[in-house]
Amino acid sequence: MAASSSSSSSIKPIFTTRSKSSNSSKSSLLSFLHNTKPKPISLKFSSHNSNYTTPPSFTISNSLQTALETSELHVSKFQDDLNVQAVTPKPTILVSEKLGEAGLAILRSFGNVECLYDLSPEALCEKISQCDALIVRSGTKVTRSVFEAANGKLKVVGRAGVGIDNVDLQAATEFGCLVVNAPIANTVAAAEHGIALLASMARNVSQADASIKAGKWLRSKYVGVSLVGKTLAVMGFGKVGSEVARRAKGLGMNVIAHDPYAPADKARAVGVELVSFDQALATADFISLHMPLNPTTSKIFNDETFAKMKKGVRIVNVARGGVIDEEALVRALDSGVVAQAALDVFTEEPPAKDSKLVQHENVTVTPHLGASTKEAQEGVAIEIAEAVVGALRGELSATAINAPMVPSEVLSELAPYVVLAKKLGRLAVQLVSGGSGIKSVKLIYRSARDPDDLDTRILRAMITKGIIEPISASFINLVNADFTAKQKGLRISEERVVADSSPEFPIDSIQVQLSNVDSKFAAAVSENGEISIEGKVKFGIPHLTRVGSFGVDASLEGNLILCRQVDQPGMIGKVGNILGEHNVNVNFMSVGRTFRRNHGIMAIGVDEEPNQDSLKEIGKVPAIEEYTLLHVSYSVRLRAWRFIIGGATSWGPQSC
Ligand SMILES: NC(=O)C1=CN([C@@H]2O[C@H](COP(=O)(O)OP(=O)(O)OC[C@H]3O[C@@H](n4cnc5c(N)ncnc54)[C@H](O)[C@@H]3O)[C@@H](O)[C@H]2O)C=CC1
Ligand SMILES: O=C(O)C(=O)COP(=O)(O)O
């Protein structure tokens, strides 16, 4: 059970029965996601059967479009049968720093790639509104201004490397922009560079090299220190840190490590003892930094911590300049507390030419070269290109930084429930008429499976989307759903109830309850006083199965009229006739009641949106006690993957 905290604000739904054409109700999913006008879709067809002749390309027919928009199952079927490939405009991918060719080739095969290096912050902001993806290394600052300037077009930022401290993650999340990185391919390169700096620092390689080039021969000045038998403290025992530790052990060093989050058995496996921060500082002859830069680690090496170090310690930093207070390091070098430092990274990159730290005779520097080997750069380029293309296709990336990981098997199993969840959210909010605004939403999932086996994050996000999107300008996806809900003061709690149903299906039913709000359809209010609706997936199609205390069975498509009436013969005919007279086609009708000849409700699915006159006429039927019109869907073709990052345009074989 999870709940997000609420704040003082609340959202107030305002619904009118404004007239909407049926065409607008069928606008494409993509326009629905990004509030843009639907674009005409053309499809390229090719057949698995070579004898089958197909036109090279044509514009999608209305019926096919409707089918595509109406059912996920239909989409898959058409794609499988016809090998449908979208030829809608390709995404634009901006690469703002040098990227390996192999990665560029992957990107070019998918989208329009623009490599624009050394853009000023202003030029980046100007360009970004035309870009669907941005790929950066450590040199590009992806600030809030960039996300603001993107105006909702930017869907993914790919960091071709590990550190994402140059990306404003909070802003990315608020704008629903996915951030992915490439955390694996440069690990060894960074570790090797750490070892290179360690050894060259200990033997004064760069200083000696410079002196010979300056015409000197200073053998006694550059006597070094040995590594063997010395204690190295690895600060941050992650991917790079553990590789450094392995290599340092090979050099005969005694390696200890400090990492508050590293499992002890991982360290033991490398023959490394995990120690406290202070113990590491007090014991080490050499300290190598391998933690991320974040608010906790910012300037973690400062006057106070240098004072705790063994006099004459030598420091290597291939992590991030910002973990060291650079002015404090200069003081520590001047006082001899730190004998030497070897730095690949700096608070400001490039550092000022007259930087005391860089110019210090006991400091060896390289210009952020940790990841710069041919091999690492090709690897990183492929890793990030695949992650970005996957994200643009709507797949959840294994390296997503600001979105929960949902394994693809879970995603495909939950797909029809994702559609149901969105529709229930949207229906529930339409039932609200007043009160102090929606503050509290309870979601109850009934499932035969163990509650711990049920990953409901995407469902919760989808219900949130359904509730918030119609009443705000926010574009909501898996990246920003929780954030937006919190911001709107919406407290969402979840309950998982074990149901007596088949464990073959992940979920039996989803119930959405909104408390402390009035309903414009009193029958939707349960005995407990909250607006309550419940839905199930039947044969892959979402159904509304309960409204308040009334059981119904309505397939969730198009528009839905709910009527509460005195349970008596002839009601279906009367309402059906009125709709028929107004040329409104009924596609299904379901009646639910509490008990015989008491009250009942009718759920009537209609293809066209009924006009006000027809609804008023229904309201005038003496036995009808109340009625309401609900818009179930404008475009129902929801793919979980597309919801995850959204998009104004679709690309690739999975697109419509
Ligand atoms: N100079 C360069 O070109 C490169 C630099 N890097 C940098 O190296 C660092 C490490 O990268 P990876 O090993 O790939 O990341 P990682 O995420 O695998 O490892 C980081 C480790 O730091 C630990 N950590 C977090 N807070 C800590 C703290 N307060 N004290 C001690 N440990 C802490 C984490 O638990 C984690 O185990 C990052 O800052 C990254 O940006 C990485 C690649 C190349
Ligand atoms: O991967 C990292 O964290 C790095 O620091 C590498 O940075 P770069 O891609 O070489 O600018």
> Taking 90 as the threshold, does the pLDDT of residue 494 lie above it?
yes
> Taking 60 as the threshold, does the pLDDT of residue 490 lie above it?
yes
Q: Which residue has the higher pLDDT, 166 or 609?
A: 166
Per-residue pLDDT band at 454 (split at 50, 70, 90): confident
Give nearest CA residue, ligand 1 atom 7: 319
Radius of gyration of the chain (CA): 31
| Whether the CB of 590 sits within 6 Å of ligand 2 | no
Per-residue pLDDT band at 594 (split at 50, 70, 90): low
The backbone region for 271, taken as left when phi is positive above 0, alpha when psi lies in -120 to 50, beta otherwise, is left
Q: Which residues contact 532 (CB under 8 A, 6 or more apart)?
A: 511, 512, 513, 514, 524, 525, 526, 546, 547, 548
Around ligand 1, the residues with Cβ closer than 6 Å are: 161-163, 183, 186-187, 190, 235-241, 258-262, 290-293, 296-297, 318-320, 344-345, 368, 370-371
Per-residue pLDDT band at 371 (split at 50, 70, 90): very high
| Residue 509, both tokens | 């039913």
Per-residue pLDDT band at 436 (split at 50, 70, 90): low
Average pLDDT over residues 206-211: 98
Q: What residues does 600 pair with on adjacent strands?
A: 565, 593
- The CATH homologous superfamily to which domain 185-365 belongs is NAD(P)-binding Rossmann-like Domain (3.40.50.720)
Q: Which of 320, 593, 637, 639 is catalytic?
A: 320
Distance 318 CA to ligand 1 centre (A): 9
Return the pLDDT at 53.
25
Please tell me the pTM assigned to this model. 0.73
| Whether the CB of 371 sits within 6 Å of ligand 2 | yes
Return the pLDDT at 633.
67
**How far apart (Å, rounded) are the C-alpha atoms in residues 493 and 463?**
12
Return the pLDDT at 465.
87
Q: Which residues contact 445 (CB under 8 A, 6 or more apart)?
A: 454, 456, 459, 494, 495, 496, 497, 507, 509, 510, 511
**How far apart (Å, rounded) are the C-alpha atoms in residues 69 and 557?**
11
> Taking 70 as the threshold, does the pLDDT of residue 637 lie above it?
no
Distance 374 CA to ligand 2 centre (A): 13
| Residue 60, both tokens | 């999608």
Q: What residues does 534 pair with on adjacent strands?
A: 511, 546
Task: Using alpha carbons, select from 423, 430, 424, 427 the residue that is nearest to residue 17.
Answer: 430
| Whether the CB of 186 sits within 6 Å of ligand 2 | yes
Phi, psi for residue 63 in degrees, rounded to 5: -65, -40
Q: 175 and 181 in contact (C-beta within 8 Å)? A: no
Q: 159 and 388 in contact (C-beta within 8 Å)? A: no
Q: 578 and 618 in contact (C-beta within 8 Å)? A: yes
> Taking 50 as the threshold, does the pLDDT of residue 211 lie above it?
yes
Unique residue bearing structure tokens 């069928």: 26
> Taking 80 as the threshold, does the pLDDT of residue 408 lie above it?
no
| Whether the CB of 439 sits within 6 Å of ligand 2 | no
Q: Of 3.40.50.10540, 3.30.70.260, 3.40.50.2300, 2.10.60.10, which CATH number belongs to 557-631?
A: 3.30.70.260
Indicate which ligand has the atom closest to the C-alpha of 344. Answer: 1
Burial 352-365 (b: 16+ CB within 10 A, else e): eeebbbbebebbbb
Q: Which residues contact 338 (CB under 8 A, 6 or more apart)?
A: 306, 309, 312, 313, 314, 315, 329, 332, 362
Return the pLDDT at 571.
80
State pLDDT tens for residues 100-115: 999 999 999 999 999 9
Distance 372 CA to ligand 2 centre (A): 8
Nearest atom within ligand 2 for CA of residue 368 = 10
Burial 94-124 (b: 16+ CB within 10 A, else e): bbbbebbeebbebbeebbebeeeeebeeeeb
Give nearest CA residue, ligand 2 atom 7: 138
Q: What angle do CA 523, 524, 527 make, to 5 degrees?
A: 80
**How far apart (Å, rounded) are the C-alpha atoms in residues 531 and 529?**
7
Q: 106 and 389 in contact (C-beta within 8 Å)? A: yes
Q: What letter represents residue 520's amino acid?
A: K
DSSP 8-state class, residue 489: T
Phi, psi for residue 134 in degrees, rounded to 5: -130, 130
Q: Which residues contact 360 (CB under 8 A, 6 or more apart)?
A: 330, 333, 341
> Taking 50 as the threshold, does the pLDDT of residue 49 lie above it?
no
Q: What residues does 258 pair with on adjacent strands?
A: 235
Residue 320 known to be catalytic? yes
| Neighbour count for residue 474 (Cβ, 10 Å) | 19
Nearest atom within ligand 1 for CA of residue 291 = 22
Please determine whether the domains at 92-181+378-393 and 557-631 fall in the same fold group of CATH: no
Residue 504 known to be catalytic? no
Q: What letter represents residue 155's amino acid?
A: K
Instruction: Report CA-CA distances (Å) from 37 to 32, 441, 533, 536.
Output: 8, 31, 31, 31
| Whether the CB of 163 sits within 6 Å of ligand 2 | yes
Return the pLDDT at 477.
80
| Neighbour count for residue 486 (Cβ, 10 Å) | 15
> Taking 70 as the threshold, does the pLDDT of residue 645 lie above it?
no
For residue 220, with 0-12 CB atoms within 10 Å meaning exposed, 13-18 middle and 19 or more buried, which class applies?
exposed
Q: Which residue has the higher pLDDT, 1 or 453?
A: 453
**How far apart (Å, rounded) are the C-alpha atoms in residues 73 and 610?**
28
> Taking 60 as the threshold, does the pLDDT of residue 32 lie above it?
no
Nearest atom within ligand 1 for CA of residue 323 = 39
DSSP-assigned states of every residue in 421-486:
HHHHHHHHHHTEEEEEEEEEEEEEEEESS-GGG---HHHHHHHHHHHHGGGSS----TTTHHHHHH
Q: Which residues contact 62 (CB under 8 A, 6 or more apart)?
A: none
The backbone region for 597, taken as left when phi is positive above 0, alpha when psi lies in -120 to 50, beta otherwise, is left
Torsion of CA 299, 301, 306, 307, to 10 degrees: 60
Q: What residues does 581 pair with on adjacent strands?
A: none
| Residue 309, both tokens | 């170090």
Q: What angle do CA 302, 304, 307 make, to 5 degrees?
A: 105
> Which CATH number is 404-550 given?
3.30.1330.90
> Taking 90 as the threshold, does the pLDDT of residue 192 lie above it?
yes
Average pLDDT over residues 92-97: 98
Q: Which residue has the higher pLDDT, 302 or 399?
A: 302
Nearest atom within ligand 1 for CA of residue 261 = 35
Distance 369 CA to ligand 2 centre (A): 8
What class does CATH assign to 92-181+378-393? alpha beta
| Neighbour count for residue 303 (Cβ, 10 Å) | 14
> Taking 60 as the threshold, does the pLDDT of residue 290 lie above it?
yes
Q: Which residues contact 103 (CB under 8 A, 6 or more apart)?
A: 160, 378, 380, 381, 382, 383, 384, 385
Nearest atom within ligand 1 for CA of residue 241 = 13
Per-residue pLDDT band at 640 (split at 50, 70, 90): very low
Distance 395 CA to ligand 2 centre (A): 25
Return the pLDDT at 434.
65
> Taking 60 as the threshold, does the pLDDT of residue 634 lie above it?
no
Three-state DSSP class for residue 125: helix
Percent of the chain surpassing pLDDT 70? 80
Average pLDDT over residues 347-370: 97
Distance 338 CA to ligand 2 centre (A): 26
Return the pLDDT at 636.
32
State pLDDT tens for residues 511-523: 999 998 889 999 9
Unique residue bearing structure tokens 């619904």: 15
Torsion of CA 316, 318, 322, 327, to 10 degrees: 30
Per-residue pLDDT band at 502 (split at 50, 70, 90): confident
**How far apart (Å, rounded) are the C-alpha atoms in residues 586 and 580?**
8
| Neighbour count for residue 478 (Cβ, 10 Å) | 27
State pLDDT tens for residues 38-48: 332 223 222 23
Average pLDDT taken over every residue of the chain: 82
Q: Which residue has the higher pLDDT, 50 or 643?
A: 643
Per-residue pLDDT band at 54 (split at 50, 70, 90): very low
Return the pLDDT at 40.
29
Three-state DSSP class for residue 504: coil
Distance 162 CA to ligand 2 centre (A): 6
> Of 121-130, 481-490, 546-555, where does mean pLDDT reach its minimum?
481-490
Going from N- to C-terminal start, the domains of the chain cover 92-181+378-393, 185-365, 404-550, 557-631
